[in-house]
Every structure is written in structure tokens, then in C-alpha cells.
Amino acid sequence: EENGHQNKRLKSNADEEDVEDQNKRLPKRKIVLLMAYSGKGYHGMQRNVGSSQFKTIEDDLVSALVQSGCIPENHGEDMKKMSFQRCARTDKGVSAAGQIVSLKVRLIDDILEKINNHLPSHIRILGLKRVTGGFNSKNKCDARTYSYMLPTFAFAHKDHDVQEEVYRLDKETLEKVNKLLACYKGTHNFHNFTSQKGPRDPSAKRYIMEMYCGEPFVRENIEFAVIKVKGQSFMMHQIRKMIGLVIAIVKGYAAESIIERSWGEEKVDVPKAPGLGLVLERVHFEKYNRRFGNDGLHEPLEWTEEEEKIAVFKEQYIYPTIINTEREEKSMANWLNTLSIHDFNSSAVGMQANNKNSK
């Protein structure tokens, strides 16, 4: 009996080694993975190799790729070896419903199922497509669409509306919000909407294709609304600051003219809305699809068949996280209380002079 057990154990080890050998013989292919994740508790998407205290989405992804046998272990330590590229670096706490990463993998059988088996349930790979050898998900992406889900009391006027969860957004206020969001469309200098960029830095110019707020809806007695924004590319904190400034205007803290002023050279104090409600909805590869999508060898990077899975994931993991965290931690309510300490009227020079005088 003892020998029988040992034989079984040796056989199962041999089977595993066979699979591993087969995997090693598989040629590596360039693919893209469609990912969805809830970002709560993570320090963003991008991996910081050697920094284990700040867990990122890519830490979990790379670990699952190694464990499933798609990539050798040393590729996990040096991601350049698998030509890994993410389409967007989502910030701390930000979720995604349609993130895309490109990389070289061994195309093992049941690859999606095997990777997902090694991932926590709040990170899913929803789709996979083969792409051209030189494909880079960041460089080939022509636009990104984000959404921002927020409780509508963020738009309650500070002087004459209730500020709590009983607030309901009226038609006139929603129209005003949309009029202000539409001001962002086109190409503008967004140096005031990020840190580390000066007014003359050409990379501060960004092109916004659309931005609007949808009809409000009620979840667990709180009314929410979703703002959608599509742009060529965004800088760090840019969307949160764009939304933060519109909230400050609608609430009555800042004049409408501040948007125009923020594109000028002076430094404007732009508040940054919380990261909680921000979701990377989808990334667009229009140029790539026109060139390679119908060449007979490659598929267009469109995910119509995965739409259902994306919708289910959002309902299961992303929306409940935003709603429950807002209820428990009151991130929007607490942030709204800080708007009164921003100085929306003076320039940075004026602010420094005021600080000196007050000291």
C-alpha cells in the first residue's frame, strides 16, 4: 500500500512535469487581455517591482500568469522579457471595466480559465485576442473612456440646498453640470489639472472628445449619477480635477470663468475629487482596427461579445464597492467639506502673499 501511494505521487508529479514541458515547447505569441477589476485596496494598476508593501493589480496578474504556466517565472521579475504593456495606469483605488494589457505568452489550453483560477474574484480576465508582433497597447491606443460615479448631493448648492443623501438632482442643475462639462471638449492646456507640469509644457495640451453627466438613479436610498469622459489620453489626476472644478462651480464656491482661466498660464487652485468613483470603462484602437482588424490574420480589438460579462462584473464588484465605500467612509461628503478652504479667486502668487501675511 505504501508503495502504491508513492507510485501515485510520483505519477502525478510526472504528469505536472509533462504539462510544464509541453508548455515550454509552445511558441510565444503576442496577445491582448481584456481585464476588469475593483481597485479598492490597491495602489493602482502599475507594478512597482521590489516594493512589496504597496500592492498593485499587476502584482496579482503577474503571479497568476506565472502560476498558470503562460509565462516563465523570470518573466514575472523582469516584465520587459514578455513585452508587457498596460494601456492605462489607473491610480490608487481606481477600478476598470475594460483595461487592456499586451504581452507575449505561451498559448496554453483553456488559458483564460487557468489565469482566472489564480486570480481573486475582484480581478477577471474577460477576453483575449491575438495581435501583431509589434503591438503595444499604450502606443496604439487612440482614446480612452472613463466614467465617474458620484452621489448627486455633490451638486447641491452650498447656500440653499440640503447637503445630505436626501438631496435629489433637478433638471436645471443637471443642465448646468452638462454645460460646464462641455466646456472641456476640444484641445486645451490642462497644466492646472495635474502636478509636475508647467504651463509651457507641450504635453499638458490634451484633446477631449466628449464629456457629459447621465440621468441620476437611486441605489440604497442615495441618488447617484455617472459622468462619462472620452479623451485621447489623460494625465495623472486630470479627470478628478476636471470634475472637482465643476463641482466647486455648481456648489457656488467658484465662478464659471475659472475654467477659461485655468487654461491660461497662471497657477489656479483646482480641487481634486476623490478617486473612489473613477472607472476606466474602455480603450479605443480605431486606427489599429482600420489597418489590421480585417486583414484576415488579426481580429479587430472590439469586445461586443464580452459586453455582457463586463456589465455583470460592474454590477457585482465595481458599483457595490463604490456605493458601500461611500456609505461607510463618506469620501465624497468629507471631500466636499474641504472645498471652502480652496482659494478660487487669486492666482498662486496672490496665495503665497496671503500665506506670508497670515503667518
Binding-site entries for substrate? 146
- Closest residue by Cα to residue 98 from 137, 43, 56, 40: 137
91 is catalytic: yes
Segment (H or E) for 126: strand 123-130
Catalytic residue among 91, 109, 170, 343: 91
Q: How far apart are CA 279 and CA 276, in angstroms?
A: 8
CA angle 44, 49, 52 (to 5 degrees): 75
> What three-state secondary structure class fits 233?
coil
Q: Which residues in 24-62 are b (16+ Cβ under 10 Å) and which e?
A: eeeebebbbbbbbbbbbebbbbebeeeeeeeebbbbbbb
Contact 126, 36 (CB under 8 A): yes
Please report, in range form, the residues annotated as the binding site.
146
- Closest residue by Cα to residue 205 from 214, 192, 217: 192
Fill in the amino acid letter for 6.
Q
> Which residues, in sequence order, are CB contacts of 333 under 8 Å at separation 6+?
151, 153, 163
> What three-state secondary structure class fits 235?
coil
Segment (H or E) for 104: strand 95-106
> Where in the sequence numbering do the catalytic residues fall?
91
